[in-house]
Amino acid sequence: MSNKVLTVSVAAYNVAPFLTQCLDSLASCRRKDLLEVLIVDDGSTDETAKIARAYCEREPEVFRLIRKENGGWGSTLNASIPEARGTYFRQLDGDDLLNTETLDRYLECLEEESADFVLTPYETFVSGTEAFLLCESSKVPKAQGADIGLLPSGYSIPMHTCTFRTSLLQDEGVHLLEHCFYTDTEFVVKGIRQAETFSSYPEPLYRYRVARKGQSVSREGYRRHRQDLVRVAMELVRTFNKETFTNKEAAETRILEHLSVISGNLDVFSRAEFMDYEKELKSKAPAFYAAERSRAVLLLRRTGYLLWGPMVLLTGALRRREEGASC
């Protein structure tokens, strides 16, 4: 019987320049007897697998390497969830970190935990610095084994805050879209579907690297992968319409946040692309279509999308203002 209380799934695709720092943040903790690390090499063509293998050879009781053909972020979880032996499960990108000091205390807390999922705040940092900034929007509501219905109204659950009971994910058969970006929202929505209880831990655990060239949430990333934004949106509303949720409001809040990313980035779409998306959303999820709050989008609808140019400029200005005020 495994004594591991936490499985960390590391999504690793061509992250050789960052992977050592990532894995060191796990290897440096004291309570590795409670930790399992699954490094999922998603078809890397650099030194990612070589670096990962060194950790597996050095500490095989902690690190395991899963090699697979490239399938995208979601596919790394599809590969690791069935393999996880820890009581709890969380995800870590190969270019990010966990706070080692927090991890030790967190592992010991998880030994006594019984909730379906646990929330922790996260920090952001820029490569080459030791300045870790608490993301204010990730602060979690205080709870210990609380009913999921007690999540604060309007609280959107960020993926970086989530640790799920492994059996919940495995019994649910959670499976994410492959060859697709932005499936972190899908992971949260599908992960909480049948969750009944949650707890929170006050110390930040995840450390998210920002301002890295090529990130999918950059302006260029949104432009290159704009159809993935739509693909995930349709999968989210399909799941919401088809499945039952113990807390529909929590799922709805998370889905609406994803849809707001699309509405807030009109400039990455052509007018025709955005109109096609709107038509599909209205057809498949009229309630989500009606929940739109973007003034620019509502005005576009009222004018038959004739004001496309001015609304693109407006949403761009609003986005830049929000980015300047964000964590």
Are the beta carbons of 185 and 257 closer than 8 angstroms? Answer: yes
Instruction: Indicate whether 325 pLDDT > 60.
Output: no
Predicted confidence (pLDDT) per residue in 212-261, tens digit = 665 666 778 899 999 999 999 999 999 999 999 999 999 999 999 999 99
Q: Which DSSP string corresponds to 165-193?
A: EHHHHHHHT----SS-S-THHHHHHHHST
Q: Residue 188 corresponds to which tokens in the numbers above?
A: 């949260």
Q: Which stretch of 98-102, 174-178, 318-322 has the lowest confidence by average pLDDT?
A: 318-322
Q: Residue 314 corresponds to which tokens in the numbers above?
A: 């407006």
pLDDT band for position 25 (cuts 50, 70, 90): very high
Predicted confidence (pLDDT) per residue in 33-83, tens digit = 999 999 999 999 999 999 999 999 999 999 999 999 999 999 999 999 999
pLDDT at residue 327, as a whole number:
58
C-alpha to C-alpha distance for 321 and 10, rounded to whole angstroms: 33
Are the beta carbons of 57 and 25 closer than 8 angstroms? Answer: no
Q: Does this model's pTM top 0.85?
A: yes
Q: Residue 122 corresponds to which tokens in the numbers above?
A: 């996260």
